[in-house]
């Protein structure tokens, strides 16, 4: 866990490929209670393939374009971090007894995805 200016960031997961090498990604699909994050990568054959990860029990999601990202958001470059304390999490009402966490990831020259969710499932394998 790293503390920077009172903000705690625990790395939960790191992208298996650098986001600067994406050809089309990332793709963010928001559906009821779930956010799916997809990205493309160059395989050993030179073709581009897709992989994805999923946030579960989602209560809130926010995308911020690169041009509007804060230094705190950019610090999550190519890695999913747990943000504590979280104004985004504190602002939610009615989440009930769920255990929620604020997770953040930044993609090179694209922007930052902030998600308040119960869990995160990285890609299989």
pLDDT the model gives residue 2? 52
pLDDT the model gives residue 48? 95
pLDDT the model gives residue 98? 77
Residue 44, CB-side half-sphere exposure with 13 Å CA sphere: 0
Per-residue model confidence as pLDDT tens digits over 6-56? 556 799 999 999 999 999 989 999 999 999 999 999 999 999 999 999 999
CB of 117 within 8 A of CB of 101? Answer: yes
The pTM (predicted TM-score) of the whole model is: 0.90
Domain ranges for the chain, please list them: 2-121
Over range 84-89, report the average pLDDT. 93
Per-residue model confidence as pLDDT tens digits over 91-115? 998 656 679 999 999 999 999 999 9
Long-range contacts of 88-95 (CB under 8 A, 24+ apart): 88/60, 88/62, 88/114, 88/116, 89/116, 92/59, 92/60, 92/116, 95/59
Long-range contacts of 91-100 (CB under 8 A, 24+ apart): 92/59, 92/60, 92/116, 95/59, 98/57, 98/59, 100/57, 100/59
pLDDT the model gives residue 25? 80
pLDDT the model gives residue 9? 76
């Amino acid at each position: 866990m790293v503390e920077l200016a009172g903000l705690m960031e625990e790395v939960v997961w790191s992208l298996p490929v650098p986001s600067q090498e994406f050809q089309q990604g990332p793709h963010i699909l928001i559906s009821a209670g779930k956010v799916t994050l997809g990205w493309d990568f160059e395989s050993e054959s030179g073709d581009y393939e897709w992989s994805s990860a999923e946030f579960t029990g989602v209560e809130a999601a926010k995308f911020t374009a690169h041009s509007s990202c804060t230094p705190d958001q950019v610090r999550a470059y190519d890695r999913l971090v747990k943000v504590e304390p979280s104004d985004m999490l504190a602002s939610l009402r009615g989440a009930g007894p769920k255990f929620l966490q604020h997770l953040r990831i930044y993609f090179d020259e694209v922007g930052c995805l902030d998600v308040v969710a119960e869990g995160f499932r990285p890609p299989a394998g």
